[in-house]
Amino acid sequence: MVHPTAESHDAIIIGAGFAGLYAVHALRNQQAKDVIAFDAAGDVGGTWYWNRYPGARVDIESVHYSYSFDEDLQQEWHWTERFPAQPEILRYLEHVADRFDLRRSIRFNTRITSLTWDDDESLWTATTDAGEVHVARWVISGAGTLSVPKKPEFGGIENFAGETYTTGNWPHHEVDFAGKRVGIIGVGSSGIQAVSEIAKQAGHLTVLQRTPNYATPIGNYATDPAEEAAEKADYAALREASRNHFLGVPYSDVQPSAVAATLDERREVFDDRWNRGGFRLFIDAYGDILFDHEANDTVAQYIRDRIHERVDDPATAELLAPRGYPYGTKRPPLETDYYEAFNRPDVDLVDVKSNPIEAVTEGGVRLADGTELAFDVLVLATGFDACTGPLLAMNVTGRRGRTLKEHWADGPQTYLGLMAAGFPNLFMITGPQSPSVLYNMPLAIEDHVDFSVAAISHVEEQGRAVIEPTPEAEQEWVAHTNELAQATLLPDSPTSWYMGKNVPGKPQRVLVYLGGAPTYRARCDEVVAAGYEGFAISDRHSDRAFA
């Protein structure tokens, strides 16, 4: 039974980042639906609202990492840098919210605490931490992929007498590092970006590293007006090329095989991609890097050599040089002067793999061998409960009282990474087992929102009310995504969040679709062309009637 004080809408949208904002626009402005969106943040931005740490910067050129849905928007907006920093991306999203009048449909500072499907009414009921109740036929979750910070395995943070900051939940006020002893835990993308900046500001910086990372130069530069004009002259073609690329960027120089190339040829290709920056070394060098150990070894050794060139102290360089897992199987970070930071006399590197962090103490951090590291400021760059965490945090209950937590007890189960069997009318934008973080996010989001909006229209045009994947289609998709992962080197990484391995106790199953964005998009198109193959479309009240 619907709650007596519930507010009723056509659709509930979760989040006000790239996904939630576009979903509000697509459903409300383009489809004239009554929508309400929620975000725990005080304003729009999603990831770019929370991740305000020093050095936070996008890893894909913003000319590509931006919305494509509105030609005037993409023509008029000007990026000042090739890879802009967080404040500029946030300004862009604020501009989008203003331009399309989105804020009036969004409740900020409001978190969804439960989402429950009503089998009889075929409606979702959402409760919020403000005690409100909302019902809607449709739910679009733009809750994000990297929005729930991981709880550190070590205890004692509450005992620390100094200041503690988490990269994924950074305060709005300026943090003053001057003259302070700063400790940073974690050298993923966030930690590596933060180290370069904090090193310049802190009295002393200690970097606590567990697994060294294959970080490569981002190659950022101020926007070149001629390059910008050329890109805007045919933006549509650029977007088309992005959508037809594995990672959603218009790179076109990938060579077939590192193994087949000679040493000199490889060196030339690696130097070129290294110098051009971004993800070119990862995705635009050789096609076999993610699939073949021998190919991967060539680029891994190249990166280690470059690290040794940049770090003065050979022992520090060796500690920073990753070994024992393939390049690209953990998300490769991009950096600016990261390795040079360790040439400063006021920056230290501590290996917490051989000597793990035991606990945070009143004065700093205690390691397993009893060493006490004294800090005034502690920065946690320890990562996220990726992909599944944000959805599970909403306490979702589907058909017949089955929770998403139960459904995903052995790892995520979805169809197309977009919906789960038994959770009707709930669209998970860039959900687990979709290309998501391995596809340029704004484009991945637009594709998913467009698919969801089209599916809603399709159901309604038929005079029906419910769409959900069949269990069989879901099982096939899970098997397919696992098979794709097994064909890559990804399972070889001991700690990769792509595989759910960074969070103790998390089921280890691949969280992303590894067939590449073009194959994925083609599959989605086939599904639609075949009349939403793999989905059951039914009427309200009825249990199920296949379309």
User: Which residue has 């576009």 as its token pair?
Assistant: 22
Q: Which stretch binds ligand NA7 (CB under 6 A): 28-36, 237-245, 264-272, 378-386?
A: 378-386
**CA–CA separation, 65 vs 62, rounded Å?**
4
The answer to whether 383 contacts ligand NA7 (rule: CB under 6 A) is: yes
Binding mask of the shown chain, residues 393 to 432, with x at each position contacting ligand NA7 by CB under 6 A: ----------------------------------------
The answer to whether 253 contacts ligand NA7 (rule: CB under 6 A) is: no
Three-state SS sequence of 178-206: CCCEEEEECCCHHHHHHHHHHHHHCCEEE
**DSSP-derived secondary structure for 134-178:** EEEEEEEE---SS-SBPPPSSB-GGG--SEEEEGGG--SSPP--T
Q: Which of residues 480-509 bind ligand NA7 (CB under 6 A)?
A: 495, 497, 502
Out of 15, 20, 144, 191, point to the residue binding ligand NA7 (CB under 6 A): 191
181-185 and 163-166 strand pairing? unpaired
Pick 322 or 516: Cβ nearer ligand NA7? 322
| Residue 105 · residue 16 · CB < 8 Å | no
Pick 135 or 517: Cβ nearer ligand NA7? 517
How far is C-alpha 507 from the chain's CA centre?
Answer: 19
Out of 91, 210, 310, 480, point to the residue binding ligand NA7 (CB under 6 A): 210
* Minimal distance, residue 412 CB to ligand NA7, in Å: 18
The answer to whether 327 contacts ligand NA7 (rule: CB under 6 A) is: no
* Minimal distance, residue 66 CB to ligand NA7, in Å: 17
The answer to whether 379 contacts ligand NA7 (rule: CB under 6 A) is: no
Spatial CA neighbour of 271 closest among 221, 261, 58, 190: 261
Pick 494 or 531: Cβ nearer ligand NA7? 494
* Minimal distance, residue 193 CB to ligand NA7, in Å: 8
User: Which residue has 């429950």 as its token pair?
Assistant: 116
**Interior angle at CA 473, CA 469 and CA 479, nearest 5:** 130
**CA–CA separation, 209 vs 355, rounded Å?**
10
CA atoms 525, 530, 533, 537: torsion sign: positive
Pick 422 or 500: Cβ nearer ligand NA7? 500
Spatial CA neighbour of 367 closest among 208, 495, 494, 211: 208
* Cα diameter, the chain: 73
The answer to whether 169 contacts ligand NA7 (rule: CB under 6 A) is: no
Pick 403 or 495: Cβ nearer ligand NA7? 495
The answer to whether 352 contacts ligand NA7 (rule: CB under 6 A) is: yes
For residue 68 the two structure tokens come to: 């494509």
Out of 139, 148, 187, 511, point to the residue binding ligand NA7 (CB under 6 A): 187
**Cα dihedral: 254, 486, 213, 442 (round 10):** 60
CB atoms within 10 A of CB 358: 17
| Residue 404 · residue 141 · CB < 8 Å | no
Out of 384, 415, 423, 451, point to the residue binding ligand NA7 (CB under 6 A): 384
Going by the DSSP 8-state scheme, the letter that residue 545 receives in this structure is -
The answer to whether 435 contacts ligand NA7 (rule: CB under 6 A) is: no
Pick 190 or 298: Cβ nearer ligand NA7? 190
The answer to whether 27 contacts ligand NA7 (rule: CB under 6 A) is: no
* Minimal distance, residue 379 CB to ligand NA7, in Å: 11
Binding mask of the shown chain, residues 119 to 158, with x at each position contacting ligand NA7 by CB under 6 A: ---------------------------x-----xxx----
535-538 and 181-185 strand pairing? unpaired
Out of 331, 448, 506, 509, point to the residue binding ligand NA7 (CB under 6 A): 331
**CA–CA separation, 223 vs 230, rounded Å?**
12
Q: Which residues pair with 197 in a beta bridge?
A: none
The answer to whether 441 contacts ligand NA7 (rule: CB under 6 A) is: no
Task: Identify the three-state secondary structure at position 29.
Answer: helix
Going by the DSSP 8-state scheme, the letter that residue 382 receives in this structure is -
Binding mask of the shown chain, residues 521 to 540, with x at each position contacting ligand NA7 by CB under 6 A: --------------------
* Minimal distance, residue 300 CB to ligand NA7, in Å: 16
H/E stretch holding 411 = none
The answer to whether 186 contacts ligand NA7 (rule: CB under 6 A) is: yes
* Minimal distance, residue 165 CB to ligand NA7, in Å: 13
The answer to whether 388 contacts ligand NA7 (rule: CB under 6 A) is: no
Q: How far is CA 467 from CA 126, 475, 489, in A?
A: 19, 17, 35
* Minimal distance, residue 231 CB to ligand NA7, in Å: 24
Residues contributing to the site for ligand NA7 (CB under 6 A): 146, 152-154, 167, 185-191, 210-211, 331, 352, 357, 381-384, 437, 495, 497, 502
